Amino acid sequence: MRFIKNTVQEKTLKKEFISGIFLLVAIFGFSILADSALADDSKAGPQPGLKPLDESGAMQIGSQDRCPVCAMQVSKHKKFACAIQFIDGRTYYFCGTGCMIRSWMHPEIFLGAAKEKLKRTVVQDYFTGEQVPGESVYWVAGSDVIGPMGPALVPLENEQHLTVFKKRHGAKMVFRLSEMTDEKWRQLTGKQAASNQ
């Protein structure tokens, strides 16, 4: 009888000991994670692309580049990928034109920078795929084209492309990037441009 009693006590002690070890490991592990997260402020917020635009102004999207607005992997959305270049050369890549336009309008929210720090945008003409300045294209809203984040804002390099696109895909509104306002964004999307949603 005494032997059985010790065995039960030993099993209980072993369970308590193992539970204590698991608790210590969990506390130690969480403290390491918390320390590393707090210690590395250099990676807080959106990160620019691993490579900036090349000398010709072409995008150099890598597999690790993430959209600073929605965190999608940009390389998986090549047809709609676009960029904003800063004056200092840093370049942010976007999964689609909607995320890029919101960041162009409100860089303080989405890129952590003042508008004066932005140099230019680079988008792809819908038909040719040619990389062109987003400031010079015609933008079409309200077509049947769907991008990574839903209904696409489509860049078209010239009036001929615009005419053909409207016949094929429709268009509720055509605008230039310089004409985009918070009110126009709200009309197009039903959402706030400055909202992080």
Q: Shortest CA distance to 182 belongs to which of 102, 98, 121?
A: 102
For residue 62, the one-letter residue type is G
Listed range (17-26, 62-71, 130-139) with the worst mean pLDDT = 17-26
Residue 12 has pLDDT above 90, yes or no: no
Mean pLDDT of the chain: 86
Instruction: Dig out the tokens for 37 from the structure.
Output: 């997260």
The average pLDDT across 84-108 equals 97
The residues pairing with 173 across neighbouring beta strands, listed in sequence order, are 141
For 127-195, what is the HEC assignment? CCCCEEECCCCEEEECCCCEECCEECCEEECCHHHHHHHHHHHCCCEEECHHHCCHHHHHHHHCCCCCC
For residue 163, the one-letter residue type is T
The average pLDDT across 49-76 equals 96
Q: Say what the pLDDT of residue 30 is.
A: 43
- Note the pLDDT tens digit of each residue in 155-178: 999 999 999 999 999 999 999 999
The average pLDDT across 130-147 equals 97
Q: Say what the pLDDT of residue 195 is.
A: 76
- Rounded Cα distance between 148 and 73, Å, is 10
Q: Say what the pLDDT of residue 55 is.
A: 94
Q: Say what the pLDDT of residue 36 is.
A: 40
Residue 100 has pLDDT above 80, yes or no: yes
CB under 8 Å to 180, separation ≥6 — which residues? 101, 104, 105, 139
